[in-house]
Structures are given as C-alpha cells and as structure tokens.
A = this chain, B = another copy of it.
C-alpha cells in the first residue's frame, strides 16, 4: 500500500521504517523537500522509501499517518492540502503537548479536556476519516508490541468511520497488535480520553526511568 508519513521525528521514523519493512511504499513528508532527517530516512531504506513536502507525501499516500508534533499538526495538514488529503484516512498518532509551561509538558488548553487534537483535525478537514490510535505509548511499542509481555497490552482506537477503523486495524495487526488488545472507544471524541493519558504516561516514565511500558486494561 502507498502510505504517507507526515513528520520526520522519532515517531515518523519508527512508523515509516516499520511500514517499509512490511513491504509498503512509504513517502515521508515534511515542511521542505530537502529535510535532512527525511533524506537520512530515505537513504537508510536504500530507495525503498521516498520523501517530499507534506503535499507530495499526502498526494502519494492512500492512507496518511500524522506523526507531526501535535501543536503543528493542523498546520502541517493544511500545508499537505485538502485536495491531497480529502477522502483519505488520517491515522492520528500525535499528542497536543504544550512545552511552554515547563516540564513535563502539559496539554494545549484549546486542544484538551473538552476538545482534542483528533477532533480538531476531523473538524478542520471534514472529508477525511480521522482514526486516533497508538498515541498512548512509546513509538518502539507502537510498531512492535511484542517487545513487552508478548504483545499483551492495550492499544486504543477511536474515530467516526467504522470502515476506516477496520482498515487501520489491519495495519495494526501487521505491526503485531492482536485484535483482543485493540480497544475501540467509539467516535473521535474519545481522543479526549486517550490524549489525556499523556500526563500520567510522562509521570510514570519519570518515576520508573523506563519508556518501554504500556497500559493493559484488566477486567
């Protein structure tokens, strides 16, 4: 499948690299066509991946992973262009972290509590199908859940479009996620819940000095 990965940070690299490994065609998108990290990503994958602007990548992808910084995601998708993203699935992995008020980061007030980044993207680009998932853990686990507890821990998913969630689940299965560990929380407003995990995630990371953990919902 042709997949756009927007964002050149750790998350974009992890998602993009795993997708290449799984045989997908990946184009990494960033602000400029000559982004150094994107070039390194392409070089690392010996031509099995490509890079370009947000618009180039979005036009290329049948499905789009948003791996940009949460505070810049709407701008990045605007740069990608509505004509390039319209009608497509946006897998939104970003978190609306606010680094302006000290560490650990808090959440951007306008994108939290009674709103969320996932909802803001869906509202700004109504013809897209936003699926929020994977945003509640370290990127190493996103693409390789078996790294801990044989993959038996929880990944949340939410979004308005049931078919879009099903298509994303197939990719999650390819990453190694078993269906019984993918918990569908309903429509995209549940991103208010999953994005709110970040504050406690950061506290656990700080207390344990280990980012390779995840939550499992036990009942």
Q: Which of B149, B184, B200, B207 contacts A196 (CB 8 A)?
A: B200
Tell whether A186 pairs with B207 under 8 Å between CB atoms, given A212-B219, A218-B213: yes
Q: List chain B residues, Cβ under 8 A from A216.
A: 215-216, 218
Tell whether A196 pairs with B194 under 8 Å between CB atoms, given A186-B206, A215-B216: no
Tell whether A219 pairs with B215 under 8 Å between CB atoms, given A112-B113, A113-B109: no
Chain A residues bordering chain B, tally (CB within 8 A):
42
Can you spell out 6 A-B residue pairs with CB atoms less than 8 angstroms apart?
A106-B113, A109-B113, A190-B207, A194-B203, A196-B197, A213-B219
Instruction: Known A-B contacts: A193-B204, A196-B197, A213-B217. Give 19 more (CB < 8 A).
Output: A106-B113, A109-B109, A109-B113, A183-B204, A183-B207, A185-B204, A185-B206, A185-B207, A193-B199, A193-B201, A193-B203, A194-B203, A196-B196, A197-B200, A204-B217, A208-B219, A213-B218, A214-B218, A215-B217
